[in-house]
Amino acid sequence: MSAKINERFGYVSHAEEKSDAPAINSGPCGPFVNEFYKAWNARFKNRVKIAFVMQN
């Protein structure tokens, strides 16, 4: 699953790291969460609910 996620969202370079890191780990994760939400709810009876916690 992680390979497919990284294929879809790509990688980003960070100055402090020697290799590229998955873009999904760099935020914002909203586009991934939206796709997960739609895919899960299309497949399963127990629907998932997503909430974001944000600070000022």
pLDDT in tens, 1-56: 788 888 888 888 877 767 788 888 777 678 888 888 999 999 999 999 988 777 77
Q: How many Å apart are CA 22 and CA 24, to the nearest integer?
A: 5
pLDDT on residue 34: 87
Asked if the structure places residue 55 within a domain, the reply is no
Overall pTM > 0.95: no
- CB 32, CB 24: distance < 8 Å: yes
Instruction: Specify the pLDDT at position 51.
Output: 84
* Total number of domains constituting the chain: 1
Question: What pLDDT sits at residue 42?
Answer: 96
pLDDT of residue 17: 67
Angle, nearest 10°, between helix axes 2-9 and 30-43?
Answer: 130
The range of the structural domain enclosing residue 33 comes to 2-43
Count of alpha carbons within 13 angstroms of residue 43, beta-carbon side: 6
* Residue 39 placed within a domain: yes
